[in-house]
Protein backbone atom coordinates (compact mmCIF):
# COMPACT_ATOMS: atom_id res chain seq x y z
CA UNK A 1 0.00 0.00 0.00
CA UNK A 2 1.31 3.45 -0.42
CA UNK A 3 0.61 4.94 2.88
CA UNK A 4 -2.07 7.46 3.57
CA UNK A 5 -2.16 9.06 7.02
CA UNK A 6 -5.94 8.61 7.18
CA UNK A 7 -5.81 4.85 6.81
CA UNK A 8 -4.66 2.73 9.75
CA UNK A 9 -1.40 1.17 8.63
CA UNK A 10 -1.45 -2.49 9.64
CA UNK A 11 2.19 -3.28 10.38
CA UNK A 12 1.14 -6.45 12.14
CA UNK A 13 1.69 -10.04 11.05
CA UNK A 14 -1.89 -10.37 9.86
CA UNK A 15 -4.43 -9.22 9.01
CA UNK A 16 -2.50 -7.20 6.46
CA UNK A 17 -3.57 -4.43 4.06
CA UNK A 18 -5.75 -5.57 1.16
CA UNK A 19 -5.25 -4.01 -2.31
CA UNK A 20 -8.21 -2.07 -3.77
CA UNK A 21 -8.49 -4.48 -6.72
CA UNK A 22 -8.92 -7.37 -4.27
CA UNK A 23 -11.46 -5.44 -2.17
CA UNK A 24 -13.44 -4.72 -5.32
CA UNK A 25 -13.51 -8.40 -6.31
CA UNK A 26 -14.73 -9.42 -2.85
CA UNK A 27 -17.33 -6.71 -2.56
CA UNK A 28 -19.87 -8.09 -5.04
CA UNK A 29 -23.05 -10.16 -4.71
CA UNK A 30 -22.01 -13.76 -3.95
CA UNK A 31 -22.13 -16.33 -6.74
CA UNK A 32 -24.02 -19.56 -6.09
CA UNK A 33 -21.34 -22.07 -5.14
CA UNK A 34 -22.87 -24.92 -7.18
CA UNK A 35 -22.55 -23.05 -10.47
CA UNK A 36 -20.29 -23.33 -13.51
CA UNK A 37 -19.21 -19.72 -12.92
CA UNK A 38 -17.99 -20.42 -9.40
CA UNK A 39 -16.40 -23.76 -10.40
CA UNK A 40 -14.30 -21.88 -12.94
CA UNK A 41 -13.20 -19.39 -10.27
CA UNK A 42 -12.35 -22.18 -7.82
CA UNK A 43 -10.42 -24.07 -10.47
CA UNK A 44 -8.42 -20.95 -11.31
CA UNK A 45 -7.68 -20.33 -7.63
CA UNK A 46 -6.34 -23.87 -7.18
CA UNK A 47 -4.25 -23.61 -10.37
CA UNK A 48 -2.91 -20.23 -9.28
CA UNK A 49 -1.97 -21.52 -5.83
CA UNK A 50 -0.17 -24.49 -7.39
CA UNK A 51 1.64 -22.09 -9.69
CA UNK A 52 2.83 -20.07 -6.72
CA UNK A 53 3.94 -23.17 -4.80
CA UNK A 54 5.45 -24.68 -7.98
CA UNK A 55 3.69 -28.00 -7.44
CA UNK A 56 1.10 -30.32 -8.90
CA UNK A 57 0.24 -31.72 -5.45
CA UNK A 58 -3.42 -31.60 -4.50
CA UNK A 59 -4.56 -28.30 -3.07
CA UNK A 60 -7.77 -27.52 -1.18
CA UNK A 61 -9.25 -24.33 0.21
CA UNK A 62 -11.00 -24.32 3.59
CA UNK A 63 -13.38 -21.70 4.89
CA UNK A 64 -11.78 -20.89 8.22
CA UNK A 65 -8.64 -19.29 9.59
CA UNK A 66 -5.14 -20.76 9.56
CA UNK A 67 -5.73 -22.75 12.73
CA UNK A 68 -8.41 -24.76 10.96
CA UNK A 69 -5.82 -25.81 8.37
CA UNK A 70 -3.39 -26.56 11.23
CA UNK A 71 -5.94 -28.95 12.69
CA UNK A 72 -6.60 -30.49 9.25
CA UNK A 73 -2.84 -30.96 8.78
CA UNK A 74 -2.76 -33.14 11.90
CA UNK A 75 -6.13 -34.87 12.15
CA UNK A 76 -5.96 -36.37 8.63
CA UNK A 77 -2.42 -37.73 8.94
CA UNK A 78 -1.61 -38.60 12.57
CA UNK A 79 -3.18 -41.58 14.30
CA UNK A 80 -3.45 -42.21 18.05
CA UNK A 81 -0.16 -43.74 19.21
CA UNK A 82 1.91 -42.36 16.29
CA UNK A 83 5.27 -40.82 17.16
CA UNK A 84 5.61 -37.25 16.01
CA UNK A 85 8.54 -34.84 16.26
CA UNK A 86 7.53 -31.23 16.95
CA UNK A 87 10.00 -28.39 16.36
CA UNK A 88 8.97 -25.76 18.88
CA UNK A 89 10.31 -22.30 18.13
CA UNK A 90 7.42 -20.25 19.48
CA UNK A 91 3.69 -19.85 19.97
CA UNK A 92 2.49 -21.18 16.61
CA UNK A 93 4.75 -24.23 16.55
CA UNK A 94 3.60 -24.95 20.10
CA UNK A 95 0.00 -24.76 18.88
CA UNK A 96 0.71 -27.32 16.15
CA UNK A 97 2.27 -29.63 18.77
CA UNK A 98 -0.75 -29.14 21.05
CA UNK A 99 -3.10 -30.19 18.27
CA UNK A 100 -0.98 -33.32 17.73
CA UNK A 101 -0.98 -34.01 21.51
CA UNK A 102 -4.77 -34.13 21.34
CA UNK A 103 -4.43 -37.17 19.08
CA UNK A 104 -1.29 -39.00 20.17
CA UNK A 105 0.62 -39.27 23.45
CA UNK A 106 3.90 -39.68 21.57
CA UNK A 107 4.87 -36.13 20.67
CA UNK A 108 8.61 -35.58 21.08
CA UNK A 109 9.50 -31.89 21.23
CA UNK A 110 12.69 -30.07 20.35
CA UNK A 111 12.52 -26.53 21.71
CA UNK A 112 14.63 -23.55 20.66
CA UNK A 113 15.28 -20.42 22.70
CA UNK A 114 13.22 -17.38 21.71
CA UNK A 115 14.60 -15.92 18.51
CA UNK A 116 16.44 -19.08 17.48
CA UNK A 117 15.71 -21.86 15.00
CA UNK A 118 16.09 -25.57 15.74
CA UNK A 119 19.59 -26.78 14.85
CA UNK A 120 19.58 -29.21 11.91
CA UNK A 121 21.87 -31.60 13.83
CA UNK A 122 19.30 -31.87 16.60
CA UNK A 123 16.64 -32.92 14.12
CA UNK A 124 18.99 -35.44 12.53
CA UNK A 125 19.80 -36.86 15.96
CA UNK A 126 16.18 -37.04 17.11
CA UNK A 127 15.16 -38.87 13.94
CA UNK A 128 18.14 -41.25 14.17
CA UNK A 129 17.34 -42.08 17.78
CA UNK A 130 13.58 -42.50 17.25
CA UNK A 131 13.21 -44.64 14.16
CA UNK A 132 9.43 -44.82 14.48
CA UNK A 133 8.76 -41.08 14.07
CA UNK A 134 6.02 -40.79 11.46
CA UNK A 135 5.94 -37.05 10.94
CA UNK A 136 7.82 -33.85 11.75
CA UNK A 137 5.89 -30.67 12.53
CA UNK A 138 7.68 -27.63 11.13
CA UNK A 139 6.72 -23.98 11.38
CA UNK A 140 8.47 -22.39 8.41
CA UNK A 141 8.09 -18.82 9.62
CA UNK A 142 7.40 -18.49 13.35
CA UNK A 143 5.45 -15.25 13.61
CA UNK A 144 5.74 -14.98 17.40
CA UNK A 145 9.55 -14.72 17.31
CA UNK A 146 10.17 -13.60 13.70
CA UNK A 147 12.32 -16.63 12.93
CA UNK A 148 12.35 -18.40 9.59
CA UNK A 149 13.64 -21.98 9.60
CA UNK A 150 15.72 -23.58 6.87
CA UNK A 151 12.82 -25.54 5.39
CA UNK A 152 14.60 -27.21 2.45
CA UNK A 153 17.34 -28.51 4.77
CA UNK A 154 14.82 -29.73 7.35
CA UNK A 155 12.78 -31.44 4.63
CA UNK A 156 15.88 -33.22 3.34
CA UNK A 157 16.56 -34.69 6.79
CA UNK A 158 12.93 -35.79 7.12
CA UNK A 159 13.07 -37.50 3.71
CA UNK A 160 16.25 -39.33 4.69
CA UNK A 161 14.40 -40.73 7.71
CA UNK A 162 11.16 -41.34 5.83
CA UNK A 163 9.19 -38.96 8.05
CA UNK A 164 6.29 -36.95 6.68
CA UNK A 165 6.80 -33.17 6.69
CA UNK A 166 3.85 -31.19 8.03
CA UNK A 167 4.61 -27.54 7.39
CA UNK A 168 2.94 -24.38 8.65
CA UNK A 169 3.79 -21.90 5.91
CA UNK A 170 1.08 -19.49 7.02
CA UNK A 171 3.32 -16.41 7.18
CA UNK A 172 5.96 -17.45 4.65
CA UNK A 173 3.76 -18.40 1.69
CA UNK A 174 3.72 -15.62 -0.94
CA UNK A 175 6.39 -13.69 1.04
CA UNK A 176 9.18 -16.17 0.39
CA UNK A 177 9.60 -19.26 -1.83
CA UNK A 178 7.79 -22.36 -0.58
CA UNK A 179 8.81 -24.84 -3.27
CA UNK A 180 6.66 -27.80 -2.40
CA UNK A 181 7.81 -30.26 -5.06
CA UNK A 182 11.45 -29.22 -5.31
CA UNK A 183 11.86 -29.39 -1.53
CA UNK A 184 9.76 -32.56 -1.23
CA UNK A 185 7.25 -31.16 1.28
CA UNK A 186 4.27 -33.37 2.11
CA UNK A 187 1.61 -31.32 3.89
CA UNK A 188 1.79 -27.54 3.60
CA UNK A 189 -0.73 -25.04 4.93
CA UNK A 190 -1.23 -21.32 4.59
CA UNK A 191 -3.83 -18.65 5.32
CA UNK A 192 -5.47 -15.73 3.56
CA UNK A 193 -4.79 -12.72 5.82
CA UNK A 194 -1.01 -12.75 5.50
CA UNK A 195 1.13 -12.34 2.38
CA UNK A 196 -1.79 -13.45 0.19
CA UNK A 197 -3.23 -9.95 0.77
CA UNK A 198 -6.78 -11.01 1.63
CA UNK A 199 -8.96 -10.55 4.70
CA UNK A 200 -9.08 -13.46 7.18
CA UNK A 201 -11.36 -16.38 6.37
CA UNK A 202 -9.60 -18.80 4.02
CA UNK A 203 -6.94 -21.37 4.71
CA UNK A 204 -5.23 -23.66 2.25
CA UNK A 205 -3.68 -27.11 2.37
CA UNK A 206 -1.39 -28.87 -0.12
CA UNK A 207 -1.14 -32.66 0.10
CA UNK A 208 1.57 -34.82 -1.50
CA UNK A 209 1.05 -38.33 -2.91
CA UNK A 210 2.95 -39.78 0.03
CA UNK A 211 0.74 -37.87 2.47
CA UNK A 212 -2.38 -39.39 0.87
CA UNK A 213 -1.12 -42.82 1.99
CA UNK A 214 -1.32 -41.53 5.56
CA UNK A 215 -4.85 -40.24 4.92
CA UNK A 216 -5.80 -43.73 3.72
CA UNK A 217 -4.69 -45.23 7.03
CA UNK A 218 -6.16 -42.50 9.21
CA UNK A 219 -8.66 -43.50 11.88
CA UNK A 220 -9.62 -40.21 13.54
CA UNK A 221 -13.27 -39.17 13.57
CA UNK A 222 -13.62 -36.00 11.47
CA UNK A 223 -16.24 -34.42 9.25
CA UNK A 224 -15.63 -30.80 8.18
CA UNK A 225 -11.88 -31.43 8.08
CA UNK A 226 -12.01 -34.78 6.26
CA UNK A 227 -9.72 -34.37 3.23
CA UNK A 228 -11.36 -37.31 1.44
CA UNK A 229 -14.51 -35.20 1.10
CA UNK A 230 -12.55 -32.29 -0.40
CA UNK A 231 -10.78 -34.61 -2.84
CA UNK A 232 -14.02 -36.20 -3.97
CA UNK A 233 -15.68 -32.81 -4.47
CA UNK A 234 -12.72 -31.42 -6.42
CA UNK A 235 -13.29 -34.12 -9.04
CA UNK A 236 -16.41 -32.09 -9.84
CA UNK A 237 -14.61 -28.75 -9.37
CA UNK A 238 -16.52 -27.97 -6.21
CA UNK A 239 -16.20 -28.06 -2.43
CA UNK A 240 -17.99 -30.36 0.04
CA UNK A 241 -19.44 -27.44 2.04
CA UNK A 242 -20.38 -23.84 1.22
CA UNK A 243 -17.08 -22.08 0.55
CA UNK A 244 -16.37 -18.38 1.01
CA UNK A 245 -17.10 -17.58 -2.64
CA UNK A 246 -16.24 -13.90 -2.22
CA UNK A 247 -12.79 -14.47 -0.74
CA UNK A 248 -11.98 -17.09 -3.36
CA UNK A 249 -12.81 -14.54 -6.08
CA UNK A 250 -10.52 -12.10 -4.24
CA UNK A 251 -7.79 -14.73 -4.00
CA UNK A 252 -7.63 -14.96 -7.80
CA UNK A 253 -7.18 -11.21 -8.07
CA UNK A 254 -4.47 -11.25 -5.37
CA UNK A 255 -2.63 -14.08 -7.13
CA UNK A 256 -2.95 -12.25 -10.45
CA UNK A 257 -1.32 -9.21 -8.84
CA UNK A 258 1.54 -11.42 -7.63
CA UNK A 259 1.89 -12.91 -11.13
CA UNK A 260 1.92 -9.45 -12.75
CA UNK A 261 4.52 -8.24 -10.31
CA UNK A 262 6.48 -11.50 -10.59
CA UNK A 263 7.06 -14.13 -7.92
CA UNK A 264 10.76 -13.40 -7.59
CA UNK A 265 10.18 -9.64 -7.45
CA UNK A 266 7.59 -10.22 -4.70
CA UNK A 267 10.02 -12.31 -2.62
CA UNK A 268 12.73 -9.76 -3.28
CA UNK A 269 10.50 -6.91 -2.09
CA UNK A 270 9.97 -8.78 1.19
CA UNK A 271 13.72 -9.15 1.67
CA UNK A 272 14.25 -5.44 0.97
CA UNK A 273 11.54 -4.57 3.50
CA UNK A 274 13.19 -6.87 6.03
CA UNK A 275 16.49 -5.03 5.53
CA UNK A 276 14.81 -1.65 5.92
CA UNK A 277 12.89 -2.68 9.05
CA UNK A 278 15.96 -4.30 10.62
CA UNK A 279 17.93 -1.10 9.97
CA UNK A 280 15.56 0.71 12.38
CA UNK A 281 17.15 -1.25 15.23
CA UNK A 282 20.42 0.67 14.89
CA UNK A 283 18.78 3.96 14.13
CA UNK A 284 16.57 3.87 17.25
CA UNK A 285 18.72 1.63 19.41
CA UNK A 286 16.34 -1.30 19.76
CA UNK A 287 17.94 -4.76 19.87
CA UNK A 288 16.71 -7.28 17.33
CA UNK A 289 15.30 -10.51 18.79
CA UNK A 290 16.76 -12.43 15.82
CA UNK A 291 20.35 -11.28 15.41
CA UNK A 292 21.28 -13.86 12.81
CA UNK A 293 19.99 -12.54 9.50
CA UNK A 294 20.13 -16.01 7.94
CA UNK A 295 17.13 -17.04 10.08
CA UNK A 296 15.39 -13.65 10.14
CA UNK A 297 11.84 -13.72 8.85
CA UNK A 298 11.17 -11.90 5.57
CA UNK A 299 7.65 -11.02 6.72
CA UNK A 300 7.88 -9.93 10.37
CA UNK A 301 10.64 -8.44 12.54
CA UNK A 302 10.80 -8.49 16.35
CA UNK A 303 12.57 -5.86 18.46
CA UNK A 304 13.37 -6.15 22.17
CA UNK A 305 11.81 -3.51 24.39
CA UNK A 306 14.17 -0.80 25.63
CA UNK A 307 14.03 0.94 29.04
CA UNK A 308 13.17 4.34 27.60
CA UNK A 309 9.66 3.36 26.42
CA UNK A 310 7.36 0.45 27.22
CA UNK A 311 5.95 -1.67 24.42
CA UNK A 312 2.50 -0.61 25.50
CA UNK A 313 3.35 3.13 25.34
CA UNK A 314 5.10 2.75 22.01
CA UNK A 315 2.15 0.90 20.52
CA UNK A 316 -0.45 3.33 21.81
CA UNK A 317 1.56 6.36 20.70
CA UNK A 318 1.95 4.88 17.21
CA UNK A 319 -1.76 4.07 17.07
CA UNK A 320 -3.18 7.26 18.56
CA UNK A 321 -0.83 9.82 17.04
CA UNK A 322 0.29 8.18 13.80
CA UNK A 323 -2.44 5.68 12.89
CA UNK A 324 0.12 2.87 12.75
CA UNK A 325 -0.57 -0.52 14.32
CA UNK A 326 2.30 -2.76 15.42
CA UNK A 327 2.09 -5.99 17.44
CA UNK A 328 3.06 -6.79 21.01
CA UNK A 329 4.92 -9.99 21.91
CA UNK A 330 2.80 -13.04 22.62
CA UNK A 331 2.60 -15.13 25.81
CA UNK A 332 5.97 -15.00 27.63
CA UNK A 333 7.20 -12.29 25.25
CA UNK A 334 4.27 -9.93 25.91
CA UNK A 335 5.67 -6.51 26.85
CA UNK A 336 9.18 -7.75 26.16
CA UNK A 337 9.23 -7.39 22.40
CA UNK A 338 7.28 -5.57 19.72
CA UNK A 339 6.76 -6.95 16.26
CA UNK A 340 6.53 -5.17 12.93
CA UNK A 341 4.78 -7.08 10.17
CA UNK A 342 5.95 -6.38 6.61
CA UNK A 343 4.08 -8.95 4.59
CA UNK A 344 1.85 -8.81 1.57
CA UNK A 345 0.71 -5.46 0.22
CA UNK A 346 3.49 -3.52 1.84
CA UNK A 347 6.04 -1.12 0.38
CA UNK A 348 9.04 0.98 1.31
CA UNK A 349 6.83 4.04 1.83
CA UNK A 350 4.94 2.20 4.58
CA UNK A 351 8.14 1.46 6.47
CA UNK A 352 9.32 5.05 5.96
CA UNK A 353 6.04 6.19 7.54
CA UNK A 354 6.89 4.03 10.58
CA UNK A 355 10.45 5.37 10.59
CA UNK A 356 9.21 8.96 10.64
CA UNK A 357 6.74 8.23 13.44
CA UNK A 358 9.41 6.48 15.53
CA UNK A 359 11.68 9.49 15.00
CA UNK A 360 9.02 11.81 16.42
CA UNK A 361 8.07 9.54 19.34
CA UNK A 362 11.63 8.81 20.42
CA UNK A 363 13.06 12.31 19.83
C1 LIG B 1 2.75 -19.01 11.75
C2 LIG B 1 1.30 -18.98 12.09
N3 LIG B 1 0.65 -20.14 12.19
C4 LIG B 1 -0.66 -20.18 12.48
C5 LIG B 1 -1.38 -19.04 12.70
C6 LIG B 1 -2.83 -19.14 13.05
O7 LIG B 1 -3.61 -18.61 12.05
P8 LIG B 1 -5.05 -18.00 12.34
O9 LIG B 1 -4.89 -16.92 13.34
O10 LIG B 1 -5.46 -17.52 10.97
O11 LIG B 1 -5.91 -19.10 12.83
C12 LIG B 1 -0.74 -17.80 12.61
C13 LIG B 1 -1.47 -16.54 12.85
O14 LIG B 1 -0.93 -15.49 13.02
C15 LIG B 1 0.63 -17.77 12.29
O16 LIG B 1 1.29 -16.62 12.18
Query: pLDDT (tens digit, 9 = 90+) per residue, 122-135?
Result: 999 999 999 999 99
Q: Which of 167, 126, 128, 135 is nearest to 150 (CA)?
A: 167
Q: What was the pLDDT predicted at 276?
A: 98
Instruction: Give the end-to-end CA distance of the chain in Å, rounded to a whole number.
Output: 27
Whether residue 170 has pLDDT greater than 80: yes
Whether residue 2 has pLDDT greater than 90: no
Closest atom of ligand 1 to CA, residue 70: 4
Which fold does the domain 9-18+262-362 belong to in CATH?
3.90.1150
Read off the pLDDT band of 3 (50, 70, 90): low
Q: What was the pLDDT predicted at 1?
A: 56
Whether residue 5 has pLDDT greater than 90: no
Quick check: CB of 168 below 6 Å from ligand 1? yes
Q: What is the mean pLDDT of residues 89-104?
A: 98
- Centroid of ligand 1 to alpha carbon of 270 (angstroms): 19
Q: What was the pLDDT predicted at 287?
A: 98
Read off the pLDDT band of 11 (50, 70, 90): very high
Q: Which of 10, 13, 14 to mutate to test the pocket of ligand 1 (most atoms within 8 A of CB)?
A: 14
Quick check: CB of 266 below 6 Å from ligand 1? no
Q: What was the pLDDT predicted at 7?
A: 83
Whether residue 6 has pLDDT greater than 80: no
Domain limits, CATH 3.90.1150.10, in the chain? 9-18+262-362
Q: Which of 10, 16, 66, 330 to mutate to test the pocket of ligand 1 (most atoms within 8 A of CB)?
A: 66
- Centroid of ligand 1 to alpha carbon of 323 (angstroms): 24
The C-alpha atoms of residue 1 and residue 27 are separated, in whole angstroms, by: 19
Q: What is the mean pLDDT of residues 7-36?
A: 97
Q: What was the pLDDT predicted at 193?
A: 98
Pairing of strands 106-111, 324-328: unpaired
Three-state SS at 205 = strand
Report domain 20-259's class: alpha beta
- Centroid of ligand 1 to alpha carbon of 192 (angstroms): 10
Quick check: CB of 79 below 6 Å from ligand 1? no
Quick check: CB of 170 below 6 Å from ligand 1? yes
Pairing of strands 147-148, 141-142: antiparallel
Amino acid sequence: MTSNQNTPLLLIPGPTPVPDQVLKAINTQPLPHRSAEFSAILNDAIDNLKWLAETQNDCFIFTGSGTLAMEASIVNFINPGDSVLALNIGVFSERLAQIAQGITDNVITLKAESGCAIELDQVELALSQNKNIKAVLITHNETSTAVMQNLPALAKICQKHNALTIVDAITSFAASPVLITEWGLDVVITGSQKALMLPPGLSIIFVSKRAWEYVGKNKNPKFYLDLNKYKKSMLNKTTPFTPNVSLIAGLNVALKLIAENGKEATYDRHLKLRKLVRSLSQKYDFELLVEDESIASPSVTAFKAADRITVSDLRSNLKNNHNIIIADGQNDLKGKIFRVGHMGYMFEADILRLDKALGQILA
